[in-house]
Chain A
Amino acid sequence: QSALTQPASVSGSPGQSITISCTGTNSDVGSYNLVSWYQHHPGKAPKLIIYEAIKRPSGVSNRFSGSKSGNTASLTISGLQTEDESDYYCSSYVGGSTLMFGGGTKLTVL
């Protein structure tokens, strides 16, 4: 199974909004609302920012939001801040008691 497809990089200016897509198939993303998003600064532990496709853990800024349509899940970050610059990964349950990550997206805040 290949990784879920994410753009390798996205960029935006402070205050802008960006969206990162995570495309799978009708066997994984399309079949389950079990998509999570993680923010990962290299060398640190990944941080959960969205779970069950649209839910935000307590303590995570409401500038982060998730959505899903068909085989594609999306993470939107509004009001970009310099501290949002990081790597972002989606993950999805893919059946058979297994999970898969996306390839990761590097967000640059210009």
Chain B
Amino acid sequence: QVQLVQSGSELKNPGASVKISCKASGYTFNTYGVIWVRQAPGQGLEWMGWIKTNSGNPTYAQGFTGRFVFSLDTSVSTAYLQISSLKAEDTAIYYCARRSSTWYSDYWGQGTLVTVSS
């Protein structure tokens, strides 16, 4: 069965970096893109961008350039989201999901809570 399993919760100090993993199984990894979505406390879902798993080419939404990096390790069917220079406002749940050719996401990771606090 298709699964996306994300790494566990993180507590980070401001200015630190975090790298979240999203391990896919149950399908051919490079046939679907991977999207990343943020949900800040009390806020809605926000599309961060996506990465083409057959090329590694990332696309970032406005507001998610510079400190946010999408990457892959196709040998282990895993996508990564790295956030550098963390700020308190990066505190959120981050979700990965697989992206179909018609832009829907039928399978999602369970979410990773990142808390940025000193």
Contacts and interface: CB of A to CB of B under 8 A. Distances in A.
Most interface-central of B35, B95, B102 (chain A CB within 10 A) = B102
B59 interface: yes
A101 B61 CA distance: 11
B45 A46 contact: yes
A52 B104 contact: yes
Nearest to A6: B44
Contacts of A92: 103
A91 B95 CA distance: 15
B61 A104 contact: no
Contacts of A98: 47, 49, 59, 61
B110 interface: yes
Chain B: interface size category: 20 to 34
A109 interface: no
A40 B39 CA distance: 11
Interface string B28-50: 00000001010000001111011
A51 interface: yes
A103 B44 CA distance: 6
Interface in A75-108: 87, 89, 91-93, 97-104
Contacts of B110: 44-45
A53 to B, nearest CB: 10
Contacts of B44: 3, 87, 89, 101-104
Contacts of A40: 45
Nearest to B35: A99
A54 to B, nearest CB: 12
15 contacts: A34-B103, A36-B103, A45-B95, A45-B97, A45-B110, A46-B97, A89-B44, A91-B103, A93-B102, A93-B103, A98-B47, A98-B59, A98-B61, A101-B37, A101-B45
Interface of A: 1, 3, 34, 36, 38, 40, 43-48, 51-52, 57, 87, 89, 91-93, 97-104
